[in-house]
Structure 1
């Protein structure tokens, strides 16, 4: 059976400089893959390139057999890819309700309706009239996830969703990712928080110097502190 997402020989970067230098990845339906690595190795560049925010220099990105490498962001979004960006990027003057209305303006068929999302993220239901700049960091992260899910994506990209969040909120983010994955949605999770990554991802891929330096099952990688020290600098 072919993987839902297949990345082959992906080279990408900024202003002619190479950040990704031949990335190969596969992702099955319903699988959460944690992409790990030290700062500056290309994790966010990978997300940006798959989403179409960066045009690759070369390589292939196929989504359910369809080539999307180098396509415009709107084309890739219509193919079913959504991203929860690092830093949330919530619009300060818009209320939670307005964010959700805009996100659902062009609804795609699927299970993620506004009511279901508010059941999953009840705090947002309590804050519908609050502006983006009146939300806590955790509430902003939940809103960013809600916006993505309202597009009923076929592939969800999460870039550092635990960044700056309290442990209880990080645990809730993990619950949301597990629920999404249980519905069959493949997820790429870029993360520095190894506890979150190991708790939700079936497999991990570690980037070093723009290439995949190590791939393993999460349980295996979690049990090998020597590999974590060598690849990530943490025990």
Structure 2
């Protein structure tokens, strides 16, 4: 059986320079994989290439059998790819309610309605009238996640969602990711926080110099400190 999400020999970069040198990655529907690696190895470029923000030089990206490599950003989004970008990128002058209204404009069938999202993220329901620049970092992250979920993605990409957040908020983000996977959405989590990655992912994929160099079940990788030191430089 073919994987739901598949990346094959994906190559891309900026201004002719090569960042991704041939990435291979597979993921089943409902699966959660944590993409790990030191800074500068190409993790964000991988996310940007899959979502169409960076055009590939070559290779293949398929979602449920459909080729999306090199397609426009809007085409890839309509195919079912959602993103929670690094840095949240909420709009400062817009209220939480306005963010959710904009995110709900594109018709998309699936489990994620405004009511369901606010049930999962109740703090946002308390802050509907607050502007983006009036939210805490954790609230902005929850809003970024809510915005992505309202598109009812079949594949959700999260780029370092724990960055700058307190441990209690990181734990909430982990609970949300698990719920998203339980709904059948495939999740690619790019993360430096190993605690979060190990708490939600079934598998880890380690990047070095623009390639996936190690793939293992999460529990196995978590139990091997020698592998973590060799591949990530951490205990």
Residues in 2 aligned to 1:97 and 1:27: alpha-carbon distance in whole angstroms: 33
Residues in 2 aligned to 1:206 and 1:78: alpha-carbon distance in whole angstroms: 29
Residues 25-40 of structure 1 aligned to structure 2 (within 5 Å): 25-40=25-40
Residues in 1 aligned to 2:199 and 2:226: alpha-carbon distance in whole angstroms: 20
Number of residues paired by the alignment?
A: 235
Please say if 1:81 is aligned against 2:81.
yes
Q: Report the CA distance between 1:189 and its aligned residue.
A: 0.2
Calculate the TM-score normalised by the size of structure 2. Answer: 0.99
Q: Report the CA distance between 1:107 and its aligned residue.
A: 2.4
Residues 191-230 of structure 1 aligned to structure 2 (within 5 Å): 191-230=191-230
Residues in 1 aligned to 2:154 and 2:173: alpha-carbon distance in whole angstroms: 19
Residues in 1 aligned to 2:111 and 2:25: alpha-carbon distance in whole angstroms: 27
Residues 1-235 of structure 1 aligned to structure 2 (within 5 Å): 1-235=1-235
Residues in 1 aligned to 2:180 and 2:208: alpha-carbon distance in whole angstroms: 28
Residues in 2 aligned to 1:107 and 1:122: alpha-carbon distance in whole angstroms: 23
Residues in 1 aligned to 2:86 and 2:147: alpha-carbon distance in whole angstroms: 14
Q: What are the Cα deviations for residues 130-184 of structure 1, in whole angstroms up to 9, with x where unaligned?
A: 0000000000000000000000001000000000000000000000000010111
Q: Report the CA distance between 1:193 and its aligned residue.
A: 0.2
Residues in 2 aligned to 1:120 and 1:172: alpha-carbon distance in whole angstroms: 10
SS in 1 for 2:56: coil
SS in 2 for 1:57: strand
